[in-house]
Each structure stands twice: as structure tokens, then as C-alpha cells.
Structure 1
Amino acid sequence: MSTARKNAAQLVHYLRFAINWNDAGIAAGVNKQTLPAGAILIGTDVLVVTPFNAGTTNDVTVGIGGVANNVVTTADAVETAAGLTQNIKPSGIAAVPLVADSVVKATFTQTGGAATAGKAIVIIKYVPDNDL
């Protein structure tokens, strides 16, 4: 049985989750939620609530299907300043109807002095396949 989030109504669905600088395992990537088979991603928003403050690099990425950054790339949001980036377009296998339930994985990569703060909220908007 699928654990993906899917409402039977014909409406835009979403996944919402936080990424924190100190989440356990965040450097290697943390599984967050699951998108259902047949879903079409229509955009992702990233709200940086608390700027990430590592010394040199502060990269938040989100991906599915074993790809670290096909939903949100390092260039899509400004992690070092509070603010909202809207309607980030997916790429690769995330840009076509999903062939199977897909686990969403979030990563925070840092270099230079270690971060002591940082929080982003990610909202992935998608339309499920109501025929599945």
C-alpha cells in the first residue's frame, strides 16, 4: 500500500516540510515525504525563515529518484537571506509524470565555518493522477 499523500478530489496537492541546518543526517540527505505515482510537479517554493550561516557554502537541495537536486538546485534559492522563492521548476525525472511513488530527499551542504543557524520551509506543489 502506498504511503504517498493523495486526496481523491481534483485539486492541487502539496508537500510541506522544514529543512534545518542541524537536522540529523542532513549533510547526506534526509527523506522527508513521498509523492504519489503519476503526480506532475507544477512548482516548488522555498521560504528561508532563518538564514543559513556557514562560513562559505550554504546549499539547500531537494530531489527525488536518487537525484539530489531535480526539485530544488543550489542556484534556486538564496539560503543566506530570509525570503521566499516561488515556482521553482523541476528537471529530469521530476519534470514528467512520476512513474512510481517517489521519496523526497532534502540536503544541506555547508563549507567554511560550520553553520549555527538556518531554517527553510519547502512547499512542493503537484497534481496527482486521479485515474490511479
Structure 2
Amino acid sequence: MANPIWTNPIKHPEDVGVGAWRRRVTFDQKNMATGVPVVTLEKGCIPLRAYARIETAFNAGTTNVLVLGSAADDDGLVTSANAAAGTTGFKAGSGAELGVELANDTTFFAKFTQTGTAATTGVVEFIVEFINPRNWAHITNRSQGA
């Protein structure tokens, strides 16, 4: 029986266009200082945009450093200046990995480090928009090869 929701016989939903991942992270989550996995994107994906939606401000005494990035560039999607974790709001990332085709499967991690009095609050939802490599896999001159 044909899928009553998706009727396009050529492309399936997971092969089409832009995707997005969301992950909520809290200040006291285990491994926040070393990195909590937020999303893994496959080789050939292009992270288009990334956001930090600070639901509850992070309140460490001196500094609240919140970033989103890969093992190679820990603030490659959202920098600490972008996140401004001490204030609530929806903030766009400007990291160096945005707009760059991924050469390998890549996991992006949220990290929160603090100084001064330890934080007692802080909630962020990270949102990562990306283009799926399978959307253009039929194009033979793409940068990752055939």
C-alpha cells in the first residue's frame, strides 16, 4: 500500500531540503564543561544557521561561557558572545563552521564553563538548521565529489 502521507515516488522526506535539530540543555547537565552532544550531522551536510534560545539566564558569579561547536572548533556554530548566556532571548550564531560543507560526520557539542560563584540557573535550547547532502547527491560537480 502506498504511503498516504508522502506520495512523491522520487524523493522521500528525509532526502529533501533543509532540516533542523533542537536540543534543550541545562546549566547543571552532566559533562557541560567538556561538552554535551546536541546533534550529529553527516558528511556533506552544510550547517546553515544556528541559534541559542536562552529560556532561563545562566547566573554564574563572574563569567557564563556558553558555546556550540565541534571537537575541532568548540564555538563553530554559536560563540559565547552570540549566546550572551546571562540574558534571556533568541540569539543567532555566527561561528566559523556555518555555511561550510562537512568533510566528515560531525557531532556538535554544547559547552558551559563558569567562574566565580557557581550557577544555580540556566536553560538553553539550541537550534541548528542544515541542508541535507542527499538533496543534491545527483549533482556530479559538488565539492565532496561524486
TM-score calculated relative to the size of structure 2? 0.78
1:31 aligns with 2:37: yes
Once residues 102 and 65 of structure 1 are traced to their aligned partners in structure 2, the CA distance between those partners, rounded to angstroms, is 8
Q: CA deviation at 1:21?
A: 0.4
**In terms of Rg, which structure is larger?**
2
Q: CA deviation at 1:104?
A: 1.0
Aligned residues: 124
Corresponding residue for residue 115 of structure 2:
111
Q: CA deviation at 1:65?
A: 4.0
Q: CA deviation at 1:89?
A: 2.9
TM-score calculated relative to the size of structure 1? 0.86
1:13 aligns with 2:29: no
Once residues 89 and 100 of structure 2 are traced to their aligned partners in structure 1, the CA distance between those partners, rounded to angstroms, is 28
Give the strand-richer structure, 1 or 2: 1
Q: CA deviation at 1:36?
A: 1.4
Corresponding residue for residue 3 of structure 1:
none
Give the helix-richer structure, 1 or 2: 2
Once residues 38 and 117 of structure 2 are traced to their aligned partners in structure 1, the CA distance between those partners, rounded to angstroms, is 26
Once residues 24 and 63 of structure 2 are traced to their aligned partners in structure 1, the CA distance between those partners, rounded to angstroms, is 19
User: 3-state DSSP class of the match of 2:14?
Assistant: coil
Once residues 108 and 79 of structure 2 are traced to their aligned partners in structure 1, the CA distance between those partners, rounded to angstroms, is 13
1:61 aligns with 2:60: no
Task: Indicate conservation of the 8 Å contact 2:79/2:95, yes or no.
Answer: no
Corresponding residue for residue 74 of structure 1:
80
Letter in 1 for 2:95: P
Corresponding residue for residue 7 of structure 2:
none
Task: Indicate conservation of the 8 Å contact 1:39/1:127, yes or no.
Answer: yes
Q: Which runs of 5+ in 2 are unaligned?
A: 1-12, 139-146
- Work out the percentage of aligned pairs sharing the same amino acid: 30
Deviation by residue 1:23-72 (Cα, 9 ceiling, x = unmatched): 00101112222011111111111110000000011111111243211111
